[in-house]
Structure 1
Amino acid sequence: MDFPFNRLRRWPDVEADNLQAYDATDLLLVERALSLGIDGREIAVIGDEYGAITLALTDAGLDGIRVHQDLATGRRALARNAAELDLAGFSSHELDATLLDGVRLVLLQLPKALAELEQIADAVTRWAAPDAVLVAGGRVKHMTIAQNEVLGRSFAEVQAERAVRKSRLVVASAPSPAPSDPPFPVTARHDGLVLVAHGGAFAGARLDIGTRVLLEALRQAQGPRQPQGPRQPQELRQAQGPSGGQASSAGWVAEPVEATPAETVVDLGCGTGALAASYALAHPESRVIATDRSAAAVASARATVAANGVADRVTVMHDDAGSELADASADAVLLNPPFHLGNSVHTGAATRLFEAAARILRPGGELFTVYNSSLGYRAELTRLVGATEQVHRTPKFTVTRSIRR
């Protein structure tokens, strides 16, 4: 294979010496597709992180390939790499019928989340050709039997192949009839807040712990001062039954944010939109912008704000680190940053979001950040944004407030 994989870049995603724009799984998937001799117009590529699969096949002469990438960074990297290599002849799509209609071969870089894999497998059985074959690949160290079981619910035949160069392909064929109702999105209620989630959205329809802690910190930092004393934070106490024991329907109480309202608030890396919807519910006079680089998260957040009746006051954007937001345009930013890049633990993703917050905040604006206490981001926040103080801490999480200098 003569394709120049080493010329591919991850930009605008984080770039580092130990982070590549392709891996052995990409090569295996390309080799398999070329060996099958299927027309490019009958091939769909899903999860092509930076375009390695799509561009290698296009370079080999296949035309009309359809591709779906969840991340905005991946979409921009694909476009940039295609321009750099002077390649065209493919089209980008969402995970829908336009991606899969009539497709006979689906090439998939296995996602981390089983729910995302379930939604992809269902989409293939729902919209692809009746004889479609799904060839999924991943690094062996990240693959599990559970992935085969998920595929087995949508395909009659699932066969894992021998590992090659520490990667493995799994071939799923004979699609089962798709159920009348798709498995996603899913909906859950959290004491007045409705969350809607597609398969690829972090934490699904659950209210993740970091978000709960950030909601409590916002109340403590900006809301009316509460008498101090031994008590459980309101957003973190478990619902209890009449006798004081946990009720059968107990969950974590997710009360709306009671912070002093800011005129323009940005939920940076919004996920399913829990923070954006909570803030909008509590502060109808505020303008809220929710942005995430994941298409699944954006679709989830849009559904969440609609389900909570605040779609007219919350704008949801598919964007990379708020790049489409103007400088000094926000009064406050809410941030629960990731600490993974794909399957790698890397702080670069958080750093990019800190830099983004510093850019979009007006001088004197506030950044509220929640993070795993072991990561110790306070010094970096002070350097990149401005004076930073701890406003809340639990055994696992720290919340800081940074004032834009």
Structure 2
Amino acid sequence: MDADAGAQDDLLARLRRYPDLEAPNLHAVDATDRLILGEASSSWGAVSGEHVVVIGDHHGALTLGAIVRHGLSGVRTHQDRLLGERALQANAERLGVGGFRSLGLTPDLVADARFVLLQLPRSLDALDEIAGLVAAHADPGVLVVAGGRVKHMTTAMNDVLRRHFGDVQAHLARQKSRVLVASRPRPDDERPEQLWPRREEHLDLGVTVCAHGGAFAGTSVDIGTRALLRHLGAMPADATTALDLGCGTGVLAVLLARANERLTVTATDESAAAVASARATAAANGLEDRVVVARANGADVLPDASVDLVVLNPPFHVGAAVHAGIAQQLFAEAARVLRPGGELWAVWNSHLRYRSTLERVVGPTRQVARDPKFTVTASTRASR
């Protein structure tokens, strides 16, 4: 092993997920990170950092690993999750590594890039948006090294890449991970037109939903959200401030604002794709003046005891792992920002049995509706 590769491996061994959720079954580095770095290192030679882009880095392994092994500076990186972005920064500061800057998923991110290191998203739409952006704006000689865990990869990913690149090769799997290498961006007239965010009108709800590729559920309205929407009329009518916590594409925020013209709604999500989608959804429905969308860890953009109502459809996955910790953190955030007497209305998979947690973290909780799939509850914030 060369000295630079050894320094890279030493750095990877010291990475943490913090401030993201940490648990024994959650890791800051996986075999896919190492495989992508190894495949890229064998291809790029003496490339400068200004021509290297990293997309989808989980907690900094790809960005910092590439910088340390090759002495790069000026690397551009994009992470959809805010906590991934903060973990990258925390690891860089703790280990004394610099040489990167974080950007949105925009043409500036990939302009003139010659190498793109990509952790494959699980959503084909997310991959399509990324691949289209790279093919349209990167250097014509760009090489995309995209990796993932084999159990989460499908041949449809190859097909998506082939819409935008003339050459896509699947390399042999190692340690249950595999790399796809894409090159030769297709000319503009041979690639599908990129129309992001996409739009869909839902006549039954009277709402237009906009979604970027990485937004959960895309332009559809997921069944958990629909279960909570059935009870909009029972939510406090005297509320003037509300929070859609983990807003996704902003459907709950928009319909809350529409149902109560006195209400100002803050919508937060840590996903950059969700935030961009929710802003577009608010604008498409003429409610951008009463729906304020912010990228946040929970509700860290709001002060304590500042809202009357919180609505929440919490996720129960952290990446590919099932973990209840993220929902518990969101319950705690709801409790923090609710005024005494304010209410958290939540929908959750019935088998998760969150009611006792809600009672403990937020306050008295009543069951509004329940079926084998979903439970809807209303929790009243106890006096502080």
Q: TM-score range by the shorter chain?
A: over 0.9
Tell me, what secondary structure is at the counterpart of 1:76? Answer: helix
- Matching of residues 2-151 of structure 1 within 5 Å: 2-3=7-8, 4-35=11-42, 36-37=44-45, 38-60=47-69, 61-151=71-161
Measured at CA, do residues 155 and 180 of structure 1 come closer, stay the same or move farther in structure 2, by a change above 3 Å?
closer
Q: 1:384 & 1:177 partners in 2: Cα distance?
A: 55
Matches for 1:2-401 after TM superposition, within 5 Å: 2-3=7-8, 4-35=11-42, 36-37=44-45, 38-60=47-69, 61-178=71-188, 179=191, 181-191=193-203, 192-219=206-233, 221-222=234-235, 260-401=237-378
- Secondary structure at the counterpart of residue 357 of structure 1: helix
* 1:226 alignment partner in structure 2: none
CA separation in 1, counterparts of 2:210 and 2:371? 27
Q: Give unmatched runs, 5+ long, in structure 1.
A: 223-258
Structure 1 residue 261 displacement after superposition: 4.2
Deviations 1:276-322 (A, max 9, x none): 01011121211100000000000000000001111011110011111
**For 1:121-174, what per-residue CA distance to the aligned partner results, in whole angstroms no more than 9, with x for missing partners?**
101111111111111001111111111111111111111111111111111111
Q: Percent identity?
A: 53
Provide the C-alpha distance between the structure 2 equivalents of 1:393 and 1:260, rounded to a whole number of angstroms. Answer: 23
CA contact (8 A) 1:298 1:318 kept: yes
Residues in 2 aligned to 1:340 and 1:293: alpha-carbon distance in whole angstroms: 14
Whether the aligned pair in 2 keeps the contact of 1:328 and 1:363 (CA below 8 Å) is yes
The separation in 2 between residues aligned to 1:360 and 1:194, in whole angstroms, is 29
Q: Secondary structure at the residue paired with 1:270?
A: coil
Residues of 1 paired with 2:197 and 2:241: CA distance? Answer: 29
Residue type of the alignment partner of 1:182 = Q
Shift of residue 71 of structure 1?
0.8
The answer to whether the Cα contact below 8 Å between 1:112 and 1:343 also exists between their aligned partners in 2 is no
Conserved in 1, the CA contact under 8 Å of 2:232 and 2:256? no
Q: Give the partner amino acid of 1:207.
A: V
Instruction: Tell me: CA distance 1:89–1:320, structure 2 relative to 1, closer, same or farther (3 Å).
Output: same
Which structure 1 residue ranges, 4+ long, deviate > 6 Å from structure 2? none
Distance across 1 between alignment mates of 2:193 and 2:152: 30
Unaligned runs of 5+ in 2: none
CA distance in 1, matches of 2:207, 2:159: 33
Indicate the SS of the match to 2:289: coil
SS of 2:230 mapped into structure 1: helix
Task: Give the drift of 1:34.
Answer: 2.4
Q: Answer yes or no: is the 8 Å Cα contact 2:245–2:267 preserved in 1.
A: yes
Q: What secondary structure sits across from 1:390 in the alignment?
A: strand
SS at match of 1:206: coil
| Partner Cα separation in structure 1 for residue 331 and residue 19 of structure 2 | 15
SS of the residue aligned with 1:367? strand
Instruction: Please give the TM-score of this superposition, normalised by the length of structure 1.
Output: 0.89
Aligned residue in 2 for 1:250: none
1:62-101 Cα shifts (integer Å, max 9, x gaps)? 1111100001111111111110011111111111111101
Q: CA deviation at 1:217?
A: 2.3
Distance in 2 separating the partners of 1:77 and 1:387: 35
Match of 1:242 in 2: none
> AA paired with 1:24?
A
Contact 2:77/2:100 (8 A) holds in 1: yes
Distance 1:136 1:56 in 2: 15
Contact 2:257 2:265 in 1 (8 A): yes
Higher mean C-alpha deviation, range 289-298 or range 260-269? 260-269
Give the length in aligned residue pairs.
Answer: 368
State the match for 1:404 in structure 2. Answer: 381
